[in-house]
Chains A and B, each alone.
Chain A
């Protein structure tokens, strides 16, 4: 059953910009796969290949398929969509690749084609549309959702649900999610709504703008608080542009590049006066840095996007590069660090957060094998591909050292997923963002000082 090209080649599509069987605008970039020589160095880095052992679920396999569509050997259909959407977008393959093939970029572009070819229907479509278009980009609705969540927690309903095992009627993976949802505090965007600038403690050395993030600010507002605390503590005036929006990563991951562009434009505008854009969510940071990729066919916006991207910095790297103040109070604890994919593979940030943790007196860092292996969160992957995400989480949890008290990381999606892992596998670690620990150390130092004074 040899594959004859003549059997498969179809009539040329009558759309412009088409490439093989990619019939829509913004097709995958040929130059991205040109570097792939199919050597296979990426295989072991890929969590979905580790689980399935199947080539089409490996980076080079996906690249091969994406290329095959362009060559007219495959069509954009369900069978093609499956491997392309099973990718976690963790970028581990980019790190492993000797030729720096941008597999993640190709995947996102291919997803764009798939979503245009076959818009999501049914339950998945509704959920996807609700979250991606309805909630994440809409601050008010997100806050509303957050308030409901808060109400639900405060009212003790959470306890009731948990106690009465009502929760068991939910699908299992949602039950697990529910159990670890963080306690929601007031979002910083609400809190600082009327403050033009949050002043540095002491002398102002620099001014930075903070991306509060959509989910981050609603579900993890304490991390945003902590971020602001450590920034101001280190001589930064912090600005929170009010017209900023969701970074669009989830949309782009899901193939909705149009929405991604819309959000990107809004953020580029919102931050146009900022010199530095600080991000504390690895996924968002990575997306912001990759905005230019969205505007490959729009030179004017591409230029703006490039200028914008150059200003984006992860909080850990920023603190590290600006020589942050080393905390003096001791936090005696054993910590292991999980490399968020979009920090380690996406932005090449590995040592900076570890150095921050190391700078805290009393902290002992325990090595986690395969620390830069994806935890399975991958945006909303744990909602869309629960089985695979669960399997990947299981592998991840096996690598968490037994005798640590805290798992630290730099991405909210990972924090949720890892918290779920801790719960599911009966572990007892706390999940903490790197800056939170630093903030605690500073606070402890201050309270000790006050106590003395």
Chain B
């Protein structure tokens, strides 16, 4: 918005500006770059070298080619809502922002697919096709603003992935710019099971380390005929988690099955979308079933019966779409709502076998006591994806470190009970070291080997996803490359 010409002697900046079409499409001054020093994960920060805003695949490819030839580290960024730091320019990367590639390219209802550019916002897809009765299933809580490109990179989940799966289950095809600037199409024409290794599956969730996605073919679904949402308040966490197991054992696959504990409820009630939950309950369940209308009532009755058997204090069915939306807004803004009760928070993203929930919550409580930090729990209970939110105040000396340690310990607990360290947020910078909780050196090397096939110079989003090298020789070598490049 300011200045009509590039005001720097840096030839890389000048050349990059030429590729993307001038001063309007590049940021390189410190004041502008500062806004790009982190994404939704704010604990680590680093300034990028520049931010470029390509308009099309060709420009992306040219920027990538330029960076590759000049050994400039680079990475792709969408809306920057990631919670694990995947878009933080740790090595002073050139950030390739894809937010201006935000078109909905085509919708083919009969063949149930849509093609979007990576900067297209998740929720907008559903909004664009909802009048025809269709929707896009993955619904991360940040769907109001996160991009589908980012969703692919992180293999984003959401509240409704219990029944419908995560992003990878809904991606049919991708156009990808490889780290050398070459453009390839995988999942050609969005046809499944293409001959060859499943690169589509591999790329999805690779956290932007294998390539930059520039076009995405997604599967869209027909709206379920009926949808019912139940809210249940419990005086005991154990009753609530037992109710979760009971619902599943009944043979019901809810579209969503969410749990919040007392501290989480306190936050959402203090924030922008209060529902009026009682403050003295220990846990609430938000349960949604959808499908054929003829079968829904039966399921709702089963759910209500299960809740009553587990000593529910109050249980109610949403009376209309407005009420349902309010319950969901309250839940979906849960992370941001932590701002209302704490200056800072750190969200973890462990996954546990559902049956281990009471044990895990008990152990998280102990961690909270040990560090003297409050921990709120928001939980995709249906699929065992637990979000402990460690509340802290970064202004207090040492508290950030304490929060990080507490978060890490929560993940250790998840790993110990046979779970995973991340269910939908990705590893990023945040959980690199915690990868060791679930993978040994050889397993990590098996993964970096794959990365090297795509990203041999490791210029693309280096330093993410994998632990800093330990014994692993292969990884050591790669660190050297980053330093020298």
Do A and B come into direct contact in the complex, CB within 8 Å?
Answer: yes
Residues on A close to B: CB < 8 A?
1-3, 34-44, 52-58, 61, 64-65, 68, 73-74, 77-80, 82-83, 86, 95-101, 388
Contacts of B339 in A (CB 8 A): 34-37, 98-99, 101
25 A-B residue pairs with CB within 8 Å: A1-B92, A35-B343, A37-B344, A39-B40, A39-B81, A40-B142, A40-B145, A41-B81, A44-B144, A54-B97, A61-B35, A65-B34, A74-B31, A77-B31, A78-B2, A79-B2, A80-B31, A83-B32, A98-B272, A98-B337, A98-B340, A99-B271, A99-B336, A100-B272, A101-B339
In Å, the complex CA distance between A74 and B53 comes to 24
Q: Does B333 contact A (CB under 8 A)?
A: yes
Least distance between A79 CB and chain B CB atoms (Å): 4
Please tell me which one of the listed residues B1, B47, B344 contacts residue A388 in the complex, with CB atoms under 8 A apart: B1
Q: Is the CB of B271 within 8 A of A100?
A: yes
* Closest Cβ–Cβ distance, residue B73 to chain A (whole Å): 12
Task: Tell whether A37 pairs with B345 under 8 Å between CB atoms, given A44-B145, A53-B100, A98-B333.
Answer: yes
B152 at the interface (CB under 8 A from A): no
Asked whether, in the complex, the Cβ of A40 is within 8 Å of the Cβ of B79, the reply is: yes
- A79-B119 contact in complex given A1-B47, A40-B146, A53-B100, C-beta closer than 8 Å: no
B145 touches A41 (CB 8 A): yes
Cross-chain contact A37 with B42 (CB below 8 angstroms): yes
Cβ of B80 < 8 Å from any Cβ of A?
yes
**At the interface, yes or no: B200 with Cβ under 8 Å from chain A?**
no
Least Cβ–Cβ distance between B430 and chain A, in angstroms: 14
Contact between chains at A2 and B92 (CB < 8 Å)? yes
Task: Output the least CB separation between A61 and chain B (Å).
Answer: 4
B411 interfacial contact with A, CB 8 Å:
no
Closest to A63 in B: B35
- Are A43's CB and B79's CB within 8 A? yes
Residue interface mask B15-30, A partner, CB < 8 A = 1? 0000000000001011
Q: Cβ of A52 and Cβ of B1 under 8 Å apart?
A: yes
Give CA–CA (A78, B30) in the complex, Å: 12
Q: Judge whether B34 and A74 touch: CB under 8 Å.
A: yes
CB distance from B126 to the nearest CB of A (A): 14
CB pair A56 B31 closer than 8 Å = yes
- Cross-chain contact B92 with A40 (CB below 8 angstroms): no
CB closest chain-B residue, reference A53: B99
| Given contact pairs A39-B40, A40-B39, a sample of 16 additional A-B residue pairs in the complex whose CB atoms are under 8 Å apart | A37-B339, A38-B39, A40-B142, A41-B142, A53-B100, A53-B102, A56-B31, A61-B35, A64-B35, A73-B34, A74-B30, A82-B2, A95-B272, A98-B271, A98-B336, A100-B340
Q: Are A79 and B144 in contact (CB under 8 A)?
A: no
A41 CA to B145 CA in the complex, in Å?
Answer: 6
- Complex Cα gap A78–B2 (Å): 9
Chain B residues in 8 Å Cβ range of A64: 34-35
Distance A1 CA – B99 CA, assembled complex (angstroms): 24
Q: Is the CB of B337 within 8 A of A99?
A: yes
Give B166 Cβ to nearest chain A Cβ, in Å.
Answer: 20
Distance between B49 CB and nearest chain A CB, rounded to angstroms: 6
Our pick among B35, B38, B40, B45 for the contact of A65 (Cβ within 8 Å) is B35
- The answer on a CB contact under 8 Å between B97 and A53 is yes
Q: Nearest chain B CB to A309's CB is how many angstroms away?
A: 21
B389 CB to nearest A CB, Å: 10
Q: A39-B142, A43-B145, A55-B36 are in contact. Are A82 and B1 (CB under 8 A)?
A: yes
Report how far A40 CA is from B40 CA in the complex, Å.
7
Known contacts A54-B32, A98-B333; A40 and B80 CB within 8 A of each other: yes
Within 8 A of A (CB), among B305-339: 333-339
Q: Is the CB of B1 within 8 A of A86?
A: yes
A275 to chain B, nearest CB (A): 30
Given contacts A53-B97, A73-B34, A86-B1, contact A38 B40 (CB under 8 A): yes
In chain B, what residue has the closest Cβ to A49?
Answer: B99
In the complex, how many angstroms separate the beta carbon of B177 from the nearest chain A beta carbon? 18
Chain B hits for A53, CB < 8 A: 53, 97, 99-100, 102, 119
Set of chain A residues within 8 Å of B335, measured between Cβ atoms? 37, 39, 98
B contact residues around A37 at 8 Å (CB): 42, 335-336, 338-339, 344-345
CB <8 Å contact, A79 and B142: no
Contacts of B185 in A (CB 8 A): none
Q: A54's closest neighbor in chain B, by CB?
A: B27
Residues of B within 8 A of A56 (CB): 27, 31-32, 34-35
Residue in A42, A43, A73, A95 with the greatest tally of chain B CB atoms within 10 Å: A43
Q: Are B337 and A44 in contact (CB under 8 A)?
A: no
B121 touches A44 (CB 8 A): yes
Contacts of B49 in A (CB 8 A): 1
Q: Does any Cβ of A come within 8 Å of B62's Cβ? A: no
Determine whether B37 belongs to the interface, using a CB cutoff of 8 Å to chain A: yes
B81 nearest in chain A by CB position: A40
Q: Is B363 an interface residue (CB 8 A)?
A: no
Q: Among A1, A38, A54, A95, point to the contact of B38 (Cβ < 8 A).
A: A38
A37 to B341, CA, bound (A): 11
Residue numbers in B under 8 Å from A78 (CB-CB): 2
Please give, as numbers and ranges, the residues of chain A lying within 8 Å of B1 by CB-CB distance: 52, 57, 82, 86, 388
B273 at the interface (CB under 8 A from A): yes
A52 and B340 alpha carbons, distance in the complex (Å): 29
**Which residue among B1, B121, B343 has the maximum number of chain A CB atoms within 10 Å of its CB?**
B1
Contacts of A1 in B (CB 8 A): 47, 49, 92
A61 to B92, CA, bound (A): 19
Q: Which of A53, A54, A55, A73 has the most CB of B within 10 A?
A: A55
A2-B46, A41-B145, A78-B2 as given contacts; A55 in contact with B35, CB under 8 Å: yes
Q: What residues of B have a CB within 8 angstroms of the CB of A80 in the complex? A: 31
Q: For the complex, give the distance between the alpha carbons of A36 and B146 in Å.
A: 17
How far apart sit A163 and B334, CA to CA, in the bound complex (Å)?
58
For B37, list chain A residues within 8 Å (CB): 3
Given contacts A41-B145, A55-B80, contact A3 B338 (CB under 8 A): no
Minimum C-beta distance from B380 to chain A (A): 18
Tell me the complex Cα distance, A99–B30, Å: 28
B16 → chain A, closest Cβ, in Å? 15
Task: Tell me the smallest distance from the CB of A201 to a CB of chain B, in Å.
Answer: 38
Residues of B within 8 A of A65 (CB): 31, 34-35
- Most chain A CB atoms below 10 A, which of B42, B51, B100, B272: B272
Is the Cβ of B343 less than 8 Å from the Cβ of A34? yes
For the complex, give the distance between the alpha carbons of A324 and B304 in Å. 44
Find the A residue at minimum CB distance from B53.
A53
By a CB distance below 8 angstroms, the chain B residues around A83 are 32, 35
Determine how close the nearest CB of chain A comes to the CB of B446; give it in whole angstroms.
Answer: 32
Which residue of B is nearest A57, CB measured? B1
Contacts of B344 in A (CB 8 A): 37
Task: Annotate B46-63 by CB proximity to A: 1 below 8 A, 0 otherwise.
Answer: 110101010000000000
Closest Cβ of chain B: how far from A345's Cβ, in Å?
12
Contacting residues of chain B (79-100) with chain A, CB-CB under 8 angstroms: 79-81, 92, 97, 99-100
Distance of A371 from chain B, by nearest CB (Å): 14
State how many angstroms separate the Cβ of A302 from the closest Cβ of chain B.
24
A96 touching B144, Cβ below 8 Å: yes
A129 to B40: give the CA distance in the assembly, Å.
Answer: 40
Q: How far is the CB of A392 from chain B (nearest CB, A)?
A: 13
Q: In the assembly, what is the distance between CA of A54 and CA of B35, in Å?
A: 9
Q: How far apart are A112's CB and chain B's nearest CB, in angstroms?
A: 19
CB closest residue in chain B, given A56: B35
Contact B32 A79 (CB under 8 A): yes
* Interchain nearest-CB distance for B398 vs A (Å): 18
Scan B141-172; emit 1 where CB is below 8 A from any A CB, else 0: 01011100000000000000000000000000
Give the distance in Å from the alpha carbon of A36 to the alpha carbon of B145 in the complex.
16
Q: Which residues of B contact A55 (CB under 8 A)?
A: 35-36, 80
Q: Give chain B nearest CB distance to A5 CB in angstroms.
A: 11
| Interchain CB contact under 8 A, A41 and B47 | no
A-side contacts of B31, CB under 8 Å: 56, 65, 74, 77, 79-80
Chain A residues with CB below 8 A from B271, complex form:
98-100
Contact, CB under 8 Å: A99 / B35: no
Closest 7 pairs between A and B when the two form their complex, measured CB to CB: A98-B336, A99-B339, A98-B333, A53-B99, A79-B31, A55-B35, A40-B81
